[in-house]
């Protein structure tokens, strides 16, 4: 199989590297714009860090055709996905072999379903959606572009997760709830009703809280291509 390029060399890249290897995909290397991750930096799990994202056009011209965005921050992942596509890369979905994916589920370009995650019947993932380790997306859920479901989080049947929204680790959303774009549900929260665009909720039952109070609320040091 042709090698795939990884964008980002932080924490999420570790998970992406191992998922690609589990799928039998060779890795061309990693790009990252963060200081200290330039060409010549120490390899990540044996994968070379080739330099910054300015190398995208050159690598595409050299024949690398596919890229995976290893960025946890939703807005940054969305932006870099668009940059890769503009440079001529395709963004294949990444599904860990231990994930359980219904044959009636659908995955958009660049979406990722990590180890032991589950996608139920008629679940729909948009572009660049991240379903993290052990998360559950039940039947008929819809996750819009660049949404993110944290490790062990659960969306019960018929939930809609808006664009760039984050339901953090261990949170649970009851059936048929709409979570708006750019909303944040804090780790361990239990959501029983609709969440407006841009809102931040936490607790059991979930209620509005300050975004700074959440463990996963801030972008994870994201620069142009950082993936901590």
Per the CB < 8 A criterion, the answer to whether 47 and 25 are in contact is no
Q: Is 200 helix (H, G, I), strand (E, B) or coil?
A: strand
Q: Which position among 12, 96, 139, 148 bears the catalytic label?
A: 139
Per-residue pLDDT in tens (0 to 9) along the chain, 228 residues:
899 999 999 999 999 999 999 999 999 999 999 887 766 678 999 999 999 999 999 999 999 999 999 999 999 999 999 999 999 999 999 999 999 999 999 999 999 999 999 999 999 999 999 999 999 999 999 999 999 999 999 999 999 999 999 999 999 999 999 999 999 999 999 999 999 999 999 999 999 998 765 544 333 323 333 333
Q: Which CATH class is domain 94-213?
A: mainly beta
Q: Which tokens go with 210? A: 């300050």
* Domain ranges (residues) in the chain: 4-86, 94-213
Determine whether 96 is an active site residue: no
Q: Which tokens go with 189? A: 């929260």
Instruction: State pTM to two decimals.
Output: 0.91
**Beta strands at 130-131 and 112-113: parallel, antiparallel or unpaired:** parallel
Name the residue among 111, 45, 10, 3 with its Cα closest to residue 137: 111
Residue found under tokens 């890795």: 27
* CATH entry, 4-86, from 3.40.50.20, 3.30.460.80, 3.40.50.720, 1.20.20.10: 3.40.50.20
Euclidean distance between CA atoms 87 and 35, whole angstroms: 23
């Amino acid at each position: 199989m042709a090698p795939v390029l990884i964008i980002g060399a932080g924490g999420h890249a570790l998970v992406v590297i191992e998922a690609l290897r589990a799928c039998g995909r060779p890795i061309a290397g990693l790009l990252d714009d963060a200081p200290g991750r330039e060409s010549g930096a120490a390899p990540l799990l044996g994968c070379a860090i080739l330099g910054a994202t300015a190398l995208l056009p050159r690598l595409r011209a050299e024949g690398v055709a596919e890229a995976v965005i290893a960025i946890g921050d939703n807005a940054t992942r969305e932006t870099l996905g668009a940059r890769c596509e503009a440079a001529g890369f395709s963004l294949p979905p990444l599904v860990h072999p231990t994930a359980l994916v219904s044959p009636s589920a659908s995955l958009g370009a660049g979406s990722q379903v990590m180890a032991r995650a589950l996608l139920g019947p008629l679940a729909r993932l948009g572009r660049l959606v991240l379903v993290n380790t052990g998360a559950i997306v039940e039947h008929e859920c819809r996750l819009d572009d660049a949404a993110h479901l944290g490790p062990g989080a659960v969306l019960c049947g018929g939930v809609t997760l808006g664009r760039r929204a984050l339901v953090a680790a261990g949170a649970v959303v009851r059936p048929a709830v709409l979570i708006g774009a750019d909303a944040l549900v804090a780790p361990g929260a239990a959501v029983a009703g609709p969440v407006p665009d841009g809102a931040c909720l936490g607790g059991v039952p979930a209620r509005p809280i300050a975004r700074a109070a959440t463990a996963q609320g801030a972008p994870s040091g994201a620069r142009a291509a950082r993936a901590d």
